[in-house]
Copies of this chain bind each other. A is one copy, B any other.
């Protein structure tokens, strides 16, 4: 497979080849488009004077020329490559094709982004029957030289010449069988020499031509192979899937080989400039004498520490690099510092020492734990290495969640029974119980319990509160259990399909294992694991770095962060986490408590308005007290209270025994209750009699809720002297007429209460935008509504026509098969749901230029969604208390990124 190399068209030929190494480079890191990612990075390292094995990059323009000219390489390329190759040889005191001091090179592809499907690497070009002897002499290791040679033939033969890899393996296996060898290390230099002869025959047999012994033929064959691999089927498919252009092309990198296994004065190793687990600012890493990179990774020999400090700390006896090669070590330490300063981040570095000479093979940003990332970012910013903005941008928002919940000790062994969905982060250990009442009872005795249910319903709320964690067999990431658990900050594993739960028998079977009430399990809501027995835990630590970084984040964000909270406990937690208001107080949650649900049920089961009013009169003082507590805690911060939202049947008992208990309590007969339950039953409750529709058919409920809000606001206002300004939110609005009719009820209640109490508080009445129709009519609705809060959970359900309770199997299939990039209940679907949010925000602001806009769906705590909300111009996001820090950071990042964007546009 050879390609004609053209002759130069004129003297003013383009620069096709960029050299690097020997203390300088033609290119730099910002020339990725021309040099590819790898080439640009090698050039950058060389340019700052690091000892990079010298080499050169053939530009992506050559690739384009190659394809534009019928797979012919451009003229003058040959000359430029020869000049560069000569320079490489001189730098390492060797020569390509020389027998005495043979230069070996590697050939690698390198597009502007890394791309599977393209040719990766061919090592050891330049070896043939003569030069191998030179390598043997120079390295003093004949076996190493012949092993390198046979590996080269094998690699080049399959990648460039198209001889299947299996054939080479077969030859080797046969040879080993015939000679009674078990492992590759059993083979001597002469054995490898014999294998080489067999490989050469194999190549002639399958390729029809001999393996090239001419080192230049080897080189050009490899270069062409890289260019051809750009249009391989896999690479083309990958580009299509990622929307990468076909005309980007790939570069080719040719680089001198260096060897860490050329004797006791050679070594190879890896290092981090800072500790990737803790973030400590100390060199961290390991190395092996007389070894290659793969030996460090393979774990056959135990690597040695780099520094004396590390050696002493670990109580390690093996000598540190600092001791055995003090000069190379000192140079390396200097270089690591230089690299960190240059790249302004902790680096993950590969190096080789060949015969006492240090070579840097790779440097890249080092992966780190969230705790380490925090520490590094804060220290680097304090040291002036990076700006505070950069520090804020360096933290992975989602990973932050890890810090806020207790987690399983990562060092302890895990007895995994099964897996569900990681529905609410954090880990929990406890006795399993199968119903909410029992959970409350045992928790009351001071026990830690896990509530295990097929699925949870609003009636389980008190049990979920009492439990340390929740485990369900059904339901997705946005099922009732998941949403409520996240809201409460309870760890939760949902949809663990292999659980067989019998609530009646109080037993749980997982695979072959049987558990009964009181048995201890552990769940990890961050991974979805369900574990046997009690696993050791690590408590969340809010280090000083956390506080510092969050403070910086707060400086850089535009959007406010509120919390979704109903109880005093949640509200206090949210305040600790830095929330700036309550964005969603779901009043219905307040009715599920045992002491209240009876009055609520009485209201629902009443035969007429008078009966409903009697029951509502009982609920009024309880609801008012709830709001008094919230307003008092929030000390004048905004509180958005949503009127009753769920369908009424959610409050009613669903089985006969419960109905009997209720019948006795409220003096009704069971048949009446059964009848009412069946009347309230709906085909599609999500699309049924709920939200503002309840308030419209039963305005007395709204009157009671509005009264409770205003009375509470006045009480706190008078008592604490705080400015209480409630924001009353009407759910599930589809038309302006609905909103208007309820605003009248609220305003009338306000003026009645204000007159009664001879005291006035200001308040807003706004609406959820959670139905497509509301989004489409937002301009009209904004004529009456004083704020919008996007309910993106319901908006996603209706826009997609997909019930989140039923979506799990569908979405799993879709995301697994590339039909959706991500679960739209996790990150907002920008094209569809997002388009409605944008449209509504614009239309709303066109009507009322300072209309307050927020979001209170699950997306309010999702960083990708937050970036979108920043773009749309919302005023705040609201999320569950535990998500508040994540949201604060995400808002800051979103704002910094959007500022960057506008800056780069300008």
Binding site for B on A (CB under 8 A): 682-689, 693, 696-697, 732, 734-735, 737-738, 741, 770-773, 776-777, 780, 794, 797-803, 805-806, 809-810, 813-814, 817-820, 829, 831-833, 835-836
Contacts and interface: CB of A to CB of B under 8 A. Distances in A.
What are the 4 A-B residue pairs with the smallest beta carbon separation, nearest first? Answer: A687-B803, A684-B803, A773-B832, A772-B772
A773 B684 contact: no
Contact of A806 (B683, B732, B809, B832): B683
B819 A737 contact: yes
B696 A819 contact: yes
Contacts of A832: 734-735, 772-773, 776-777
Contacts of A777: 831-832
Contacts of A799: 771-773, 776, 798
Contacts of A819: 696, 735, 737-738, 741
A732 B803 CA distance: 13
B773 A833 contact: yes
A741 B818 CA distance: 10
B809 A689 contact: yes
Chain copies in the assembled complex: 2
A859 to B, nearest CB: 16
Contacts of A836: 772, 776
5 contacts: A682-B805, A684-B684, A684-B803, A696-B817, A776-B799
B697 A734 contact: no
A831 B776 contact: yes
Contacts of A771: 799-801
B818 A737 contact: yes
A628 to B, nearest CB: 33
Contact of A687 (B684, B689, B696): B684
Given A684-B803, A776-B836, A735 B820 contact: yes
Nearest to A475: B683
Contacts of A773: 799-801, 829, 831-833
Given A682-B805, A738-B819, 8 more contacts: A687-B801, A687-B806, A697-B810, A741-B819, A771-B799, A773-B831, A773-B833, A780-B831
A233 to B, nearest CB: 17
A841 B810 CA distance: 28
Contact of A686 (B684, B814, B818): B684
Given A734-B801, A735-B819, A798-B798, A835 B776 contact: yes
A820 B687 contact: no
Instruction: Output the residue of A696, A801, A806, A809 with the most chain B CB within 10 A.
Output: A801
Instruction: Output the residue of A684, A738, A802, A829 with the most chain B CB within 10 A.
Output: A684
B688 A800 contact: no
A569 B707 CA distance: 61
Given A771-B801, A799-B772, A813-B697, A806 B737 contact: no
A800 B803 CA distance: 15
Contacts of A687: 684, 686-687, 797-798, 801-803, 806
Given A801-B798, A803-B688, A806-B682, A696 B734 contact: no
Nearest to A455: B683
A20 to B, nearest CB: 42
A767 to B, nearest CB: 13
A737 B241 CA distance: 11
A738 B811 CA distance: 12
Contacts of A798: 687, 772, 798-799, 801
A820 B833 CA distance: 25
A376 to B, nearest CB: 39
Contacts of A797: 687
Nearest to A733: B801
B685 A683 contact: yes
Nearest to A740: B819
Instruction: Output the residue of A687, A735, A805 with the most chain B CB within 10 A.
Output: A687
A829 B686 CA distance: 21
A720 to B, nearest CB: 39
Contact of A810 (B683, B689, B735, B813): B689
A805 B685 CA distance: 10
Contacts of A737: 818-820
A686 B772 CA distance: 16
Nearest to A691: B801
A682 B735 CA distance: 28
A777 B800 CA distance: 11
Nearest to A697: B813
A734 B807 CA distance: 14
Instruction: Output the residue of A686, A688, A773 with the most chain B CB within 10 A.
Output: A773
Contacts of A800: 734, 771, 773
Contacts of A809: 689, 697
B734 A683 contact: no
A757 to B, nearest CB: 31
A705 to B, nearest CB: 20
A809 B693 CA distance: 10
Instruction: Output the residue of A735, A780, A806 with the most chain B CB within 10 A.
Output: A806
Contacts of A685: 683-684, 806
Given A773-B829, A799-B773, A686 B689 contact: no
A770 B797 CA distance: 14
Contacts of A697: 809-810, 813
Nearest to A772: B772
Contacts of A814: 696
Nearest to A818: B737
A770 B829 CA distance: 18
A111 to B, nearest CB: 25
Contacts of A682: 803, 805-806
A680 to B, nearest CB: 10
A689 B687 CA distance: 16
A798 B809 CA distance: 21
A806 B688 contact: yes
A187 B738 CA distance: 55
A819 B693 CA distance: 11
A828 to B, nearest CB: 12
